[in-house]
A and B are shown apart, each in its own frame.
Chain A
């Protein structure tokens, strides 16, 4: 059922009026803020529809430099309260902070939080069991099962980021949870002995690092699985190769005669080149395997490149009698040439 609403986003000094409807488990008891869940908002003209998730996102810029969880600028009130009540409840303080711990009961199977939703509360399991899971392609992948004493939603609080919930939580038994407004803990957390704060911050940094590493390993694992799926058939080309018909000069490296001869580059990549030369030139300067040559050319885009390449294999040029074709590996290329070549080779 929809309820009339009046939202005041203090960061923008904007007020919205309309009808609000919960679209996921909604919990907005504290300070008139949406503490958990998602609400669809429809303005009075019923044209623009927004959601608390979206508003949270819009406010997050403000939030990120505000760096104070207790000042989340989104306030939510029903018709009964009105502006006055909202102002009263802007800052949790004194007597009110005692009320900022709420006991919430959930039946077996009840959703507590939904992945992707906006929520700022921290939950502590008092009784029962809660499952944390991710939803991938409609499948639920359980991440952890939490029992009494364990906490959900602490990362968002410690990392001070208004990120959406990264996982869903569901009661898998009749459960009782304690929901805390982050403002309550923020004060105590700030006033905590510096030594504890130092150790906690350090642990948080380590955890963030481990999470990043875990993400990276996940990617690597997928890549490895992909490779295995592709099988060993066919080798993968690491560099893009372009076919060319480009005149170049080549000369032997550290050997006489060092005068340049004219050849044709047939194809070129960042790691190798196929050079076509006439038999006459080949007699002057044999392209024997393992021999290194300095090759210079002006690419069709006008940029020049120079590099050292080692002969790997020589054969007769296909369809061009009297010409030899040499497959060469680039062994040395300076930064400038490499950049020019890289740009040229881009698909």
Chain B
């Protein structure tokens, strides 16, 4: 049996039945990581020792007839924005290069509790800010379908490692599309759950009112399996929802007959790559064939999504990232450099004091340019005199966008469309133009602003062999239907089973 080709559902079943040992499974994937990571750079940290030890314990428990968890033996890669007590957690930033949190994120605890095997931490855009994974302080991730192209971001490492069979499942986070967009560009399935469905405790905050953790895997069924474990109320996160967790894996069977799917004609306006448009329309046809009806709907405020997002997210980020001051943890500039501050200054917080000099230098050295850009954007937009024009107005538009969704979901059960306007772009193609980069979030940010769930899965390939992603969005807590519709699609197509032509070495 080749575990690297098994789905997560199959791996868990095989381990449970004793057909596959957790150690054997972990070794397979660890070996693939070892072989492939040099060219893909999906992992920032691989925990071979920890993973094998964990797997061995699971095998021992299974052999001894003791109970094992629902994800027993399943290798999982975790985006390096989630705190792990035994592994460095860097956010792909020099600022946290040597940071080891004293605790596990809630999601990581739940995975461990379920006997998943954490194989390592995946690369990402620094502090989850970016759409190409080129903002990592530790080098970009390469798209397994074409190593000259970006995997998308910010969960680029998580998407690429699944696409390259280095892990059957990865955990990502999505603030404006950071799970769905890289999943689309890497040809895998990625679910951004409803805001609050998965606890944010231990997720290093980018934009707290938008951040959400979700599973990334080869199929919707695998995402359903993982979501069952990581979803649920956490008293340690005030914004986590107090709602029961359905057995998502058991809700996949029901056919799509009668399900109404909205299609937004504006999504097909100028700017959408024709091959992507074609793939997306074909996906609608498949869903129709499965029994769904497709209705055109309007989302009048959708066009304000990106500007709204690029105010709210940086505002929150400017505050969330204030704690990285070099004083308590994280990167601190050389002592001598901070001593260049004036010692004759009046007081410790004067502009020219050694303390302030230390803050400025540490932050200047620790953060990359995109993070700095967003801190400045957010600080500006929250400043006296600008607050009403920017932050307050953005919050109003956010309500209008949320209302658009509420109105739309009066008529349809799901909304479908493209994930990204183009397939994976070349590394370096957009790095000189931040605005062009921000537009990669065009189709995804609205779900975050509205707090609803969305899923992305492959619906075709371009002539040059790059995956095309399809996105479905559902009302709050609509994960069962999102997963069911995606799973139905994947029962009727095999796009999700395709693998990059050039297997990684």
Q: Do A and B come from one complex?
A: no
Q: Which residues of B contact A (CB under 8 A)?
A: none
Q: Which residues of A contact B (CB under 8 A)?
A: none
